[in-house]
């Protein structure tokens, strides 16, 4: 199986290193700048539990250098997706699939949802350009449950978690997902083949859409946010709003916020991905994580005052610090 990873950062680097070390796929990567140089010099590198997993890497700067792939795994941040979607055409043949390993609400999320009339989300795909470049029938959705970061370009630090959920964007189970699930399982991941990946995506979002932006705003780790009773109540109120949206979309949440907080508390003093981005001066993934939920509430006619407050505060923080440039 020919697999190309577009975006060899923390998540892409973890997936790439394990796939390369397993040796079952013909693996390549698209990278630029310091990450491109590091992969060419050192190969794939993943450090976990005090040991370094290493494998040779074949990397290119432009998709046209690699040709058609069976799977294109996209692991970039949300703000980078639109140009990436336009650039990967040389990698896509008639039967190629696209596997986004990204946070938040994806561009194809509204497909098939009657309450939304299938119309795309302007917050994540203004003008529908991503959907035009990557039609939903190509998409295998995913949810990654892992805590990873990069300590240097091309060097991934794995803290915990190897969970990976895969599923057809349009629901149901398929042979192509089953084949990918087996490949990732043999590479050391704890893989589930979901018949409703949209619901799995919404559940992860439900936990991330509050702690991520609040951590970026405050500079606090997850444990400190959860220890503050006012912030805990604020996040819980926003989560109840998001749960109401999910219930209307066929993505019900079967936990209450306190049950989810108990799961997050087990991670201890963790630094969310958005906090890491803010500290590094990288663009914030606000649209896919919060802006899309705000938009969904508007389209469904549901009041979301707490989600709106999180989005407004984080958006202004991002604009003030040059980390968010999207329009209204």
Active site residue 204: yes
Decide: 66 and 90 in contact? Cβ < 8 Å: yes
- Of 77, 173, 204, 266, catalytic: 204
CA 311 – CA 287 distance, rounded (Å) = 9
**Distance linking the first and last C-alpha atoms of the chain:** 42
Residues tagged active-site: 204
């Amino acid at each position: 199986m020919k697999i190309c990873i577009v975006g060899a950062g923390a998540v892409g680097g973890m997936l790439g290193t394990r796939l390369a070390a397993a040796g079952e796929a013909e693996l390549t990567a698209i990278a630029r700048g310091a990450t491109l140089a590091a992969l060419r010099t050192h190969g794939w590198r993943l450090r976990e539990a005090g040991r370094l997993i290493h494998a040779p890497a074949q990397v290119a700067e432009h998709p046209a250098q690699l040709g058609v792939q069976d799977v294109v795994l996209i692991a970039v941040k949300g703000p980078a997706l639109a140009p990436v979607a336009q650039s990967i055409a040389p990698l896509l043949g008639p039967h190629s699939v696209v596997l986004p390993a990204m946070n938040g609400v994806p561009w194809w999320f509204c497909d098939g949802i009657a309450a939304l009339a299938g119309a795309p989300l302007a917050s994540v795909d203004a003008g529908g350009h991503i959907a035009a470049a990557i039609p939903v029938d190509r998409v295998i959705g995913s949810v990654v449950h892992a805590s990873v970061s990069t300590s240097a370009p091309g060097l991934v630090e794995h803290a915990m978690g190897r969970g990976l959920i895969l599923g057809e964007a349009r629901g149901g189970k398929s042979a192509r997902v089953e084949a990918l699930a087996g490949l990732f399982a043999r590479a050391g991941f704890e893989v589930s083949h979901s018949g409703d990946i949209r619901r799995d995506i919404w559940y992860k979002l439900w936990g991330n859409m509050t702690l991520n932006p609040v951590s970026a705003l405050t500079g606090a780790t997850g444990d400190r946010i959860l220890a503050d009773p006012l912030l805990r109540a604020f996040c819980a109120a926003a989560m109840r709003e998001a749960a109401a949206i999910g219930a209307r979309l066929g993505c019900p949440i079967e936990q209450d916020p306190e049950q989810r907080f108990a799961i997050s508390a087990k991670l201890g003093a963790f630094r969310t991905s958005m906090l890491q981005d803010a500290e590094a001066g990288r663009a914030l993934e606000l649209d896919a994580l919060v802006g899309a939920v705000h938009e969904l509430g508007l389209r469904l006619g549901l009041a979301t005052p707490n989600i709106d407050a999180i989005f407004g505060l984080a958006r202004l923080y991002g604009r003030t610090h040059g980390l968010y440039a999207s329009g209204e």
